Structure 1
Amino acid sequence: MGLISLLWGIVAMLWMVLALIPLLGWGNWFLIPFAAVGAIIAAVGILFTRTEHRGRAKAGLVLNGIVIVVGIIRLSLGGGIV
């Protein structure tokens, strides 16, 4: 679960960089739920793995959390459209 959430977070981060380009801000409407699913996968990975194997899941949770916050800020700045 940790590796999946980490890879999910990397894909979300790359998608976020593309959504920061003007006129591509509509991608944040799809990006935020995508990153939320990654955060849920990371949370499951943190809860149901042993203590010494939680690093990747924590990194995935942080990446997905950053993407969600930046996506929400970008949507609020653009009025939800651009």
Structure 2
Amino acid sequence: MLNIVSILIGLLSLVIVIPAQIPLLGWANWIALPFVVVGIIIGQLSSTNGGRNFCLVVFAIAVIRLMLGGGLI
């Protein structure tokens, strides 16, 4: 059950992260990061690790985009 919740949180975060890849919308990644961290924590509590791994991929995409944009752009 926790794995499904983690995947749903990851999908919600992915919906925020995808448009944030457009220039000047990088600030939206800061909104998505807390959701992704909660998804990672919930996925860690699950017996399987699919949801956690999905949230880690979304987290990596958001963080790399923030690093490329200098944290804001």
TM-score in terms of structure 2 length: 0.88
Cα root mean square deviation, aligned: 1.1
Matched, 1:73 2:64: yes
Structure 1 residue runs of 4 or more that deviate by more than 2 Å after TM superposition: none
Structure 2 counterpart of 1:27: 28
Count of residue pairs brought into register by the alignment = 72
Which string of whole-angstrom CA distances, capped at 9 and with x for unpartnered residues, describes residues 42-73 of structure 1?
A: 00113xxxxxxx2xxx2211111011111111
- Kindly indicate whether structure 1 or structure 2 has the higher relative contact order, using CA contacts under 8 Å at least 6 residues apart: 1
Counting helix residues as a fraction of each chain, which structure ranks higher?
A: 1
TM-score in terms of structure 1 length: 0.80
Mark the structure with the bigger radius of gyration: 1
User: Aligned match of 2:54 in 48, 63, 69?
Assistant: 63
The percentage of counterpart residues that share the same residue type is 38
Structure 2 counterpart of 1:49: none
Structure 2 counterpart of 1:36: 37
**Separation in 2, partners of 1:16, 1:62:** 16
